[in-house]
Chain A
Amino acid sequence: MAKEYVNFSHVEVNPNIVLSIKEAGKTVETIKKAEKVGKIISTTFTYIFIVALAILVIFPFYWMIITSLKTLDEITGMSTGGNQTYFPEVVMWTNYVYVFQRFDFTTYMFNTIVVAVFSTLGTLITTVFAAFAFSRLKFKGREAVFMVFLATMMIPGEMMVISNYITVSSFGWITDQTLLEAYACMIVPFWVSVFYIYLLRQNFKQIPNELYLAAKVDGKSDWAFLWKVMVPLAAPTLISITILKFMGTWNSYVWPNLVCTDVSYQLISNGLRGSTFTNADTQVTEYGYRMAATVLVTVPLFLLFVFFRKYIMKGVGRAGIKG
């Protein structure tokens, strides 16, 4: 049987239908050009958008710095007759001088550094030991203990505050508190961090087993292997832990506020929030001094960030994949 073909000469096309191709009449060059223009426009909008948001994000920092340089009259609107301006009319560097008289920056700074150093050291030691045991040594009940540890990560810290307060006071660290006892209150409960143990254990596990066996061949003990091989190899994680711990101490507010019976034992956040900066004569809050103090508290963290940006962002990022 012969195939039937459609004879196109008999097919009638509706004359109203016009077939058109969108890009008809355009050469490759014009299409490329149009795409390029579109891309430039969208990129420009993206940059405008993102820079505008970035300005919003850093605005509080800008406002902190310029307010710290203003006179009180200017901040309260007395001299300008209205709202605060975007740049100080009179630059008051002396605000920073007054701050050191009103706000015992050095004492709080010293307390914070002592607490940060000792709680970080303690945490590092306990974390290294525990992570080593969990990652390299085998013993009965290892998985069970580790699961219990992981489970404690679910407990919100707020839950512990009530009982920990009772615990440290039963140690006798609250009544007739000395400076050392106040330090102990702020350091000892923070010598352990399950999350850092978890983080370091993951890191230790990546170190190839062959290294361990090689160390054994060379007659090295576990102890020597831990400090000579594992710790140097995990140094980036340890640096991240140190910095995050320092930042944590710098920011800690609740616990020092509860356990310190004397204001001068407290840490920098408490000192900042607790200082009144009220003018003794007029009872008006000296916003300029207050902002100068916040600048002083913020700058060290900034410096830390500038120098250790990589470690901080990595550490925080890894905290994100703990789920």
Chain B
Amino acid sequence: MFKDRKKLKTISSVSPSGEAVLPSAQYNKDDNVIVRLVGNSPKKQYQVSGIDDVVSKNNWKAWLYLAPVIILVSVFLLYPLINTIFIAFTSNYSYIEGYGTGLTLDNFAIVLGLKQYVVEGTGASTETNFVNYAVPNTLIITFITVPVSITLALIISVALNSIKWFQKFLQTVFFLPYVTNSIAIGMVFAVIFDKQGVINGIFNIDTNWILNADRWTAMIPLCIYIVWQSIPFKILILLSGLQGVDKQYYQAAQIDSASKSKILGRITIPLLSPQIMYLMITGFIGAFKEYTAVVAIFNGPSTSDTSTTKELLTVVYYVYDILQNDALTKIQLGAAAAVLLFVVILLFTFVQFKVSKRRVFY
């Protein structure tokens, strides 16, 4: 049957436990069949199975394997995406009936404060929370925490990479903030920055950081908390990048007796640029979506227990706040804000995609 024995490729089979099994069969790549060798004489060879059923173009079994995932992705990922965009462009969307009265751009205008929000019976009002609080707060958080945390993580990783003793131990210590409950540690930060807390104690001051704090002062513990929480992941990525750097570069630098700062600036950072770029973009995306930190530390969108202003809203918090408190009347505004966030994140993801194709920056 198979005269051209060269076509047969021996199958080196390995049992799951790892031990090698003697080749008992051969695979003919051209005819796509497996031949089992039963005896030594060529006559006794026979074809066990064509594996055509696996390679066939219309494999219903494959769709069966995929069915649960396809259903779940459609219901909980794709449909919501389309539906949220639809809600954002719908006027007078009724959350109970599931449809509105027509397509409009008004929701975006209202969220951005360009148009008044009219409720029948109660009159018109301007929606200011998004423009005055949510967007500025999110931008502050993003442009402070991302550069600070990346710089700190870079310094720590370089230092960690240069030491020998306790390296693994210290690495684990720096990873600890990753494996904590964000709400729990946020509450701890609230105690640390309390009026009677240890921060005021060390600096001998009497500042309100949390309760009844000024909006801008409240940003300080918030940003410190976010940096503290986001450093472990960055160290992990940078350190694995550093450990992958070829030692020859450093040996060459040593021969040229280059200074340490020169080695850092001319070798380490350029070689780590793919990782740094990756961390910057994912960091930006993560910071745009910041929400838990505010809830964890301040237990609400305001520093005061009694006031009704929501000066600590972030973009995502704005969406959740509407869902939780005004889902019946303002859900289309939440959807519009979510779509705006989506567009920004999409833009950043696109940049990341472009950049990660060019992985070398030196």
Which of chain A's residues has its CB closest to B88's CB?
A162
Binary flags per residue of B66-82, CB closer than 8 Å to A gives 1, else 0: 10111011011111110
> How large, as a class, is the contact surface on chain B?
35 or more
Return A7 CB to nearest CB of chain B, in Å. Answer: 37
Instruction: Determine whether the beta carbon of A210 is less than 8 Å from that of B65.
Output: no
Instruction: Determine whether the beta carbon of B65 is less than 8 Å from that of A137.
Output: yes
Instruction: Determine whether the beta carbon of B73 is less than 8 Å from that of A54.
Output: no
Q: Which residues of B contact A59 (CB under 8 A)?
A: 192
Complex Cα gap A58–B157 (Å):
17
Which of B104-112, B113-121, B125-133, B195-203 lies on the face that meets chain A? B195-203
Which of chain A's residues has its CB closest to B98's CB?
A166
Partner of B175, one of A137, A268, A313: A313
Binary flags per residue of A20-58, CB closer than 8 Å to B gives 1, else 0: 000000000000000000000011001101110110011
> Majority SS of interface residues in chain B?
helix
Say yes or no: A211-B84 contact (C-beta < 8 A), given A138-B56, A269-B181: no
| Contacting residues of chain B (290-306) with chain A, CB-CB under 8 angstroms | 291-292, 295-296, 299
Partner of B200, one of A83, A217, A232, A294: A83
| Contacting residues of chain B (235-282) with chain A, CB-CB under 8 angstroms | 236-237, 240, 260, 275, 278, 282
Return B88 CB to nearest CB of chain A, in Å. Answer: 9
| Contacting residues of chain B (199-249) with chain A, CB-CB under 8 angstroms | 200-201, 228, 231, 233, 236-237, 240
- A15 in the interface, Cβ–Cβ < 8 Å? no
Complex Cα gap A216–B35 (Å):
10
Return B26 CB to nearest CB of chain A, in Å. Answer: 9
Partner of A254, one of B65, B83, B291, B331: B291
Complex Cα gap A313–B236 (Å):
8
Return B257 CB to nearest CB of chain A, in Å. Answer: 10
Instruction: Determine whether the beta carbon of A216 is less than 8 Å from that of B323.
Output: no
| Contacting residues of chain A (217-267) with chain B, CB-CB under 8 angstroms | 217, 219, 222, 228-229, 232-233, 247, 250-251, 253-254, 257-258
> Majority SS of interface residues in chain A?
helix
- A97 in the interface, Cβ–Cβ < 8 Å? no
- B148 in the interface, Cβ–Cβ < 8 Å? no
CB < 8 Å A-B pair total: 303
Partner of A162, one of B80, B181, B228: B80
- B313 in the interface, Cβ–Cβ < 8 Å? no
Return B227 CB to nearest CB of chain A, in Å. Answer: 11
Q: Which residues of A contact B334 (CB under 8 A)?
A: 162
Q: Which residues of A contact B275 (CB under 8 A)?
A: 320
Complex Cα gap A286–B66 (Å):
52
* Number of chain A residues close to chain B: CB under 8 A: 103
Say yes or no: A57-B181 contact (C-beta < 8 A), given A126-B69, A140-B58: no
- B345 in the interface, Cβ–Cβ < 8 Å? yes
Instruction: Determine whether the beta carbon of A133 is less than 8 Å from that of B196.
Output: no
Instruction: Determine whether the beta carbon of B228 is less than 8 Å from that of A57.
Output: yes
Partner of A213, one of B34, B56, B200: B34
Return B45 CB to nearest CB of chain A, in Å. Answer: 12
Q: Which residues of A contact B285 (CB under 8 A)?
A: 156
Instruction: Determine whether the beta carbon of A217 is less than 8 Å from that of B78.
Output: no
Complex Cα gap A132–B170 (Å):
38
Say yes or no: A216-B49 contact (C-beta < 8 A), given A156-B345, A158-B338, A160-B84: yes
Give the interface of A toward B (CB within 8 A): 42-43, 46-47, 49-51, 53-54, 57-61, 63-64, 67, 75-77, 82-84, 86, 125-127, 129-130, 132-134, 136-140, 142, 145, 149, 152, 154-156, 158-167, 170, 188-189, 191-192, 194, 197, 208, 210-211, 213-214, 216-217, 219, 222, 228-229, 232-233, 247, 250-251, 253-254, 257-258, 268-269, 272-273, 287, 290-291, 293-294, 297-298, 301-302, 304-305, 309, 312-313, 316-317, 320, 323
* 20 further contact pairs, Cβ within 8 A, besides A164-B76, A213-B13, A254-B291: A47-B163, A50-B156, A61-B188, A64-B191, A126-B72, A129-B69, A137-B54, A152-B78, A159-B80, A160-B77, A162-B338, A163-B81, A213-B25, A253-B292, A257-B324, A272-B184, A273-B187, A294-B184, A312-B179, A317-B237
Task: List the 8 closest pairs (A to B, CB-CB), nearest first.
Answer: A83-B201, A214-B13, A163-B80, A294-B184, A192-B72, A133-B65, A137-B62, A217-B25
A and B contact pairs by CB, cutoff 8 A, 10 listed: A46-B163, A136-B54, A152-B81, A158-B316, A158-B341, A162-B84, A164-B76, A194-B73, A210-B14, A316-B233
